[in-house]
Amino acid sequence: MEPLLTAHVREPNSFTLEAFLRHGGYEGLRKALTMTPDEVIEVVKASGLRGRGGAGFPTGMKWQFVDKKSPKSRYIACNADESEPGTFKDHVLMERNPHLLLEGCAIGCFAIGAKVAYIYIRGEFFHVQQVLEGAIAEAYAAGYLGQNVLGSGFSCDIYVHRGAGAYEAGEETALLESLEGKRAQPRNKPPFPAVVGLYGCPTAVNNVETLSNVPLIVKNGAEWYAALGPEKNGGPKLYCVSGHVRRPGVYEASMNVTLRELVEGYAGGVREGRTLKAVIPGGSSVPILLPDQLDTRASFDDVQKAGSLLGSAGIVVLDDTTCMVWLAENLLHFYRHESCGKCTPCREGTDWLYKILRRIDRGEGHMRDLDLLGSVSSQIAGKTLCAFGDAAVTPVVTTLKHFRHEYEAHILEGRCPLVAPWRASQPVRA
Amino acid sequence: MSFHPKMIYDATFHKSTRTLAEEGAPFVYTPDHRARLVEILGRYPPTQKRSAVLPALYLAQQQDGYITASAMRHVAEILEITPADVEDVVSYYTMFYTKPVGRFVLNVCRTLSCALNGAERVTEAICDHLSIEPGQTDSSGTFTLCEVECLGACDRAPVIMVNDAWHECASPDDIGRLLDDLRTRGEAAVTGCHHVIEARSTGR
């Protein structure tokens, strides 16, 4: 499949309005404004577009759930808090094709009857924020945003809201809390944001890549879009390949592509003299797949069938130098740091898991620690307000399942048997 | 019961090690920053001034280099919330500093993809060059080293965020030159975002 979302991102000035218009930009918005809001939602529903942020929930349904009878304002909150380890697709989209996102936001606002969209961007993406704000200024000046868009009577404002370093802000209700000026901590659901969202008003929270798909659907039709991929997994998809590969990067393909094509084809496979050990297919929060599962199609449904999740499509490739106990420890350091602290099992449990893993990695563990890891994990998963708890235990559960012998080797030998050349040279810094 | 004798469960928990912000000099925004904040407040409904707390704190940090208790009170007054509300936010988000930091804050990504590509060695090289450990500022007050979690540029690992600028594809061997360049040329020394570099090389 020819790239659609990233077709022109390597051209000079790809981020400007002039370049965007040259490639047929804002035609989707123009067409949407000739339709009724319900027709727009119907097209998005018919296309089968699924949320690209991780959960894969149908976007059209999400928009339909937005409470239109409510007398309150409605909002679009665009989730640009891209923080899942291994994921960097929205980064490219916003930086090199920002008008596509703005067009998607405007169509979304029109469809659900919102006047304002907030793009919640992570604080570290300061350079991206500047590009987005430049693009917004251009769009206002050219009449694609603001009062009476393209003479249609529809008005829409888009603002960028900068976060300040919190992974949890990527959870939809925590994002809304953060937008309201509070700690990014999740809310109890239900009520879902579609009913009680930002400032208590009906809100649709959509990922950057999801909204960037919307103009294509409106412009080219639902059938065209759905036919781009396997059933229920239509449209173009951005895959982020990183870790031990020759050519890490963002690659666009239809969801017919296999993990093998992505890892060995697009990304050039593992480096000279190395062999593939495992692949994390959808960001750090999903179970590991083994080399014999590489022929799995990289669609939401197929990856799930293989026992993992496509998540945010952040594919992390691990070669034979990777110690799996270290991997779990590295990721639990992340989850322990990023746990927002609202739910006790997650706040305390991630700290426990990290400390147990660190002890094992240093060769000070006991065999009974392996059962303890399992028991602490089962006390976190499913017992928290948001999906963070389940995500945080996944690296532990999945490495224990597939690489238990490595844990045992650490304990029996009293040291890490596989210290990679890319680790710190002094163990105290590791 | 000493089920796990080697584990300390309480004192080392990272979230209990935070300290209160220092009082600092009396704080008011410069007229420029105040005007900027007023403009930002226009983005949110008039009854929702609190939404501007993150931008307000960024402005305060830009002004003083870090956030003091008196700055938090000033922000609270403008946004019509309590100082505790502001402190709640400051203590939660990692990008706000409550004590002075060096002229350059070197945020080295330590999460998986960067670690797989040698981030630990990059951190180690910075520690050795500056004789500091992560979390510390060097004796000249020029550099603060922090280890941060995933920055979202895993294809250009390891990544260092220098203040708001990015230095990508870092290598332990380049650290000495990077630090020297930062001292002499400031933020212009970092490689920047590779997408930007690519664009520049093709004539942007």
* B154:A284 CB<8 A: no
Q: Give all domains of chain A, ordered by start, each with its CATH number.
A: 17-226 (3.40.50.11540), 236-319 (3.10.20.600), 324-429 (1.20.1440.230)
Our count of domains for chain B comes to: 2
Structure tokens, A181: 């000026």
C-alpha span between B156 and B145 (Å, rounded):
20
Residue A1: the pLDDT is 83
C-alpha span between B172 and B158 (Å, rounded):
10
Cα–Cα nearest to A109, from A146, A164, A138, A70: A146
Do B133 and B53 belong together in one domain? no
C-beta of residue A217 within 8 angstroms of C-beta of residue A60: no
Q: What DSSP designation does B160 have?
A: E
**Residue A384 burial by CB count (10 A; 0-12/13-18/19+): exposed, middle or buried?**
buried
Structure tokens, B44: 């949110």
What average pLDDT score do residues A416-430 get?
A: 81
Mean pLDDT per 10-residue section of chain B, whose length is 204 residues: 50 57 93 97 97 97 95 97 95 94 96 95 96 94 95 92 92 93 89 61 42
What average pLDDT score do residues A318-335 get?
A: 96
Query: Is A304 a residue whose pLDDT tops 90?
Result: yes
Residue B1: the pLDDT is 46
* B7:A351 CB<8 A: no
Question: Which residue of B3, B8, B116, B124 is the best one to mutate when testing the A interface, meaning the one whose CB has the most A CBs within 10 A?
Answer: B116
C-alpha span between B168 and A172 (Å, rounded):
29
What secondary structure, in 3-state letters, does A155-220 show? CEEEEEEECCCCHHHHCHHHHHHHHCCCCCCCCCCCCCCCCCCHHHCCEEEEEHHHHHHHHHHHHH
Give Rg (Cα) of chain B.
Answer: 20
Do B142 and B174 belong together in one domain? yes
Do B65 and B129 belong together in one domain? no
pLDDT digits (tens, 9 = 90+) for A274-286: 999 999 999 999 9
Residue B197: the pLDDT is 55
C-alpha span between A183 and B8 (Å, rounded):
28
pLDDT digits (tens, 9 = 90+) for A288-300: 999 999 999 999 9
C-beta of residue A203 within 8 angstroms of C-beta of residue A194: yes
* B153:A88 CB<8 A: yes
Give the range of the structural domain holding residue B125, as residue numbers without chain letter.
104-201
CA distances from A193 to A65, A109, A148, A156, A174 (A): 9, 15, 27, 20, 11
Q: Does a structural domain hold residue B7?
A: no
C-alpha span between A215 and A239 (Å, rounded):
20
Quick one: pLDDT band at residue A328, thresholds 50, 70, 90? very high
pLDDT digits (tens, 9 = 90+) for A1-45: 899 999 999 888 899 999 999 999 999 999 999 999 999 999 999
Do B131 and B160 belong together in one domain? yes
Q: How many residues does chain A have?
A: 430
Residue A68: the pLDDT is 87
In this structure, are strands A116-121 and A157-162 parallel, antiparallel, or unpaired?
parallel
d(CA A229, nearest CA chain B) in Å: 25
The amino acid that residue B62 corresponds to is: Q
The amino acid that residue A285 corresponds to is: S
What average pLDDT score do residues A245-262 get?
A: 95
Do B136 and B80 belong together in one domain? no
Do B67 and B154 belong together in one domain? no
Do B64 and B116 belong together in one domain? no
Per mean pLDDT, which range of A78-82, A95-99, B146-150, B196-200 is the poorest?
B196-200
Per mean pLDDT, which range of A15-29, A161-175, A413-427 is the poorest?
A413-427
Q: Nearest CB to A425: which of B89, B92, B121?
A: B121
Residue B202: the pLDDT is 46
Q: In which element (H, E) is residue A320 found? A: none
C-beta of residue A23 within 8 angstroms of C-beta of residue A255: no
Residue of B nearest to A163 (CA): B54
C-beta of residue A278 within 8 angstroms of C-beta of residue A402: yes
Choose one of B30, B63, B92: the last residue of a domain: B92
C-alpha span between B204 and B198 (Å, rounded):
9
Q: Is A314 on the interface with B (CB under 8 A)?
A: yes
What's the pTM value of the predicted model, to 2 decimals?
0.94
Residue B190: the pLDDT is 84
Q: Does a structural domain hold residue B4?
A: no
Instruction: Report chain B residues whose CB lies below 8 A from the CB of A180.
Output: 48, 50-51
What average pLDDT score do residues A222-226 get?
A: 96
Instruction: Report chain A residues whose CB lies below 8 A from the CB of B120.
Output: 422-424, 429-430
Quick one: pLDDT band at residue A425, thresholds 50, 70, 90? confident
Residue of A nearest to B194 (CA): A92
Q: What DSSP designation does B137 have?
A: B
- Mean pLDDT for all residues in chain A: 95
Asked if the peptide bond before residue A395 counts as cis, ω within 30 degrees of 0, the response is no
* B51:A364 CB<8 A: no
Choose one of B92, B115, B147: the last residue of a domain: B92
Do B110 and B180 belong together in one domain? yes
C-beta of residue B59 within 8 angstroms of C-beta of residue B33: yes
* A85:B165 CB<8 A: no
CATH of the domain at B147: 3.40.30.10
pLDDT digits (tens, 9 = 90+) for A347-403: 999 999 999 999 999 999 999 999 999 999 999 999 999 999 999 999 999 999 999
Query: Is A332 a residue whose pLDDT tops 50?
Result: yes
What average pLDDT score do residues A38-59 get?
A: 95
Residue A55: the pLDDT is 87
Instruction: Report chain A residues whose CB lies below 8 A from the CB of B89.
Output: 181-183
Choose one of B92, B122, B141: the last residue of a domain: B92
Residue of B nearest to A88 (CA): B152
Name A161's bridge partners: A120
Residue of B nearest to A243 (CA): B113
Do B109 and B190 belong together in one domain? yes
Query: Is A343 a residue whose pLDDT tops 90?
Result: yes
C-beta of residue A165 within 8 angstroms of C-beta of residue B94: yes
Do B62 and B88 belong together in one domain? yes
Residue of A nearest to B117 (CA): A422
C-alpha span between B203 and A10 (Å, rounded):
11
C-alpha span between A2 and A248 (Å, rounded):
19
Do B88 and B111 belong together in one domain? no
Do B43 and B114 belong together in one domain? no
C-beta of residue A129 within 8 angstroms of C-beta of residue A163: no
Q: What is the strand order of the sheet A116-121 is part of?
A: A157-162, A116-121, A75-80, A203-207
What average pLDDT score do residues A328-335 get?
A: 96
